Structure 1
């Protein structure tokens, strides 16, 4: 029997296997739901799969495909194991949203930033992406290409006296994103970054609680006058991971309501 499929109902990520780090909350959780709704089979990674179970259950209840894996972004072996789990589940990887990260424990000037804070920022906000991309590319090569999106920050684009180590590692992330794009383009692997501004996430709320007035100041400095919703940021990542962005690689795209303009 021949079925006539209405292609207008096929999502832009249909039949793609996409790995998402930092998927338990904020932008990552919004991305998990959005990508699945757009047709992707998603593999969600966070430090505890318990926090992912609700999201996986919801996606499956809506007819989507989702699985959860544990990952500690400070542990290189853990990252590689998580990507290996994607291969066990699906045999391939078409897209990766390297979204997981961490905020500095202590805000303030560069000369008061602790060595421990610098080390953690290096491990989670820079080295983790380096490790993840290299592991992801090995798997993407097996199916002839893919797309990677790294979550950077508006804080990478200018001086960042409140979060100097965070800003420095996110700027370094921009650099390896661009380098990876040039390196792997001949193999059909696209690599892009996004630089969200203030976004209504748990991380932003925690920063505002530690430094009261941050959200108010963010909104005042944003031409659109508000923070982004997590889904609004995830939408940009979804486009970059889709074939609609087939000629886009090496881009660092602001998602900041004009704050960086």
Structure 2
């Protein structure tokens, strides 16, 4: 990813940083000069992301964290500040996929799991991040991951769409709550991005990977690095007048 953004002297916090979109964003923040805190349940994945950052001359802190636990999240933010001194940008990306199933066939366990990670986990992270940003000079910028499923319905994805619509509703409301505090919150709505999660999802539905590509008007899947470009912009000074938006980066999928 080519970028002109300068995050030197700033600290970024990334959840779901062990792979996929989270890893791509952690690497992008580090290459732009940020010190990066990496949060995920996968210790091995975190170590690999940290290795990639440090091999490139960056600084990273690994934090094994369950985003559904308020204690875990608060401890992760506290450790970030203890190590780096502040928190300037956050990318709340942790999430899980839903098996393809009708609303009537959606198990309560699946519903609870998806909303707990993708919606409640995002809320717990944003809450802790906002509280830290309120205590420091300069405010901060938070990007919460929604989805194309946050702006339209998708057959067989009722629980996932409910969670991702909720992300946007929370983000818009919290942006109003804290606009005067210098804290910006935006939601990002990726399309079909070439990650391990999407590969699993493709394997579970008719048409597989080729069917997913057919759903993208541009004729290909998105790259995690393309999402990182949008996130860095939203967290940069170039987006200083942007808050409460739901930015769709989806190759035209939701048109």
Q: TM-score range by the shorter chain?
A: over 0.9
Q: Which residue of 2 aligns with 1:122?
A: 115
Q: Which residue of 2 aligns with 1:6?
A: none
> 1:12–1:243: 8 Å Cα contact kept in structure 2?
no
1:111 aligned counterpart, secondary structure: coil
Flag as ranges the 4+ runs of structure 1 deviating above 6 A: none
Q: Which residue of 2 aligns with 1:190?
A: 184
Q: Which residue of 2 aligns with 1:165?
A: 159
Q: Which residue of 2 aligns with 1:58?
A: 52
C-alpha distance in structure 2 between counterparts of 1:200 and 1:10, whole Å? 25
**Structure 1 position 84 matched with structure 2 position 64:** no
1:7-62 superposed Cα distances (whole Å, 9 cap, x missing partner): xx974222210000000111001111111001111000000322211221221122
2:218 aligned counterpart, secondary structure: coil
**Structure 1 position 17 matched with structure 2 position 17:** no
TM-score (norm 1): 0.93
Cα RMSD (Å) of the superposition? 1.4
Unaligned 5+ segments in structure 2 are none
Structure 1 residue 215: Cα displacement: 3.0
Q: Which residue of 2 aligns with 1:258?
A: 252
C-alpha distance in structure 1 between counterparts of 2:100 and 2:217, whole Å? 25
TM-score (norm 2): 0.95
In the superposition, relative to structure 1, how do residues 187 and 212 fare at CA in structure 2: closer, same or farther (>3 Å)? same
Unaligned 5+ segments in structure 1 are 1-8
Structure 1 residue 129: Cα displacement: 1.1
1:211 aligned counterpart, secondary structure: coil
Q: How does 1:227-238 map to 2 (within 5 A)?
A: 227-238=221-232
C-alpha distance in structure 2 between counterparts of 1:203 and 1:28, whole Å? 12
C-alpha distance in structure 2 between counterparts of 1:48 and 1:256, whole Å? 27
Q: Which residue of 2 aligns with 1:136?
A: 129
- Using the TM superposition, name which of 9-18 and 199-208 deviates more: 9-18
The number of residues matched between the two structures is 252
Structure 1 residue 220: Cα displacement: 1.8
Q: Which structure has the larger Rg?
A: 1
C-alpha distance in structure 2 between counterparts of 1:162 and 1:209, whole Å? 14
Q: How does 1:81-120 map to 2 (within 5 A)?
A: 81-104=75-98, 106-120=99-113
- Using the TM superposition, name which of 31-40 and 211-220 deviates more: 211-220
In the superposition, relative to structure 1, how do residues 30 and 97 fare at CA in structure 2: closer, same or farther (>3 Å)? same
C-alpha distance in structure 2 between counterparts of 1:246 and 1:219, whole Å? 34
Q: How does 1:149-164 map to 2 (within 5 A)?
A: 149-164=143-158
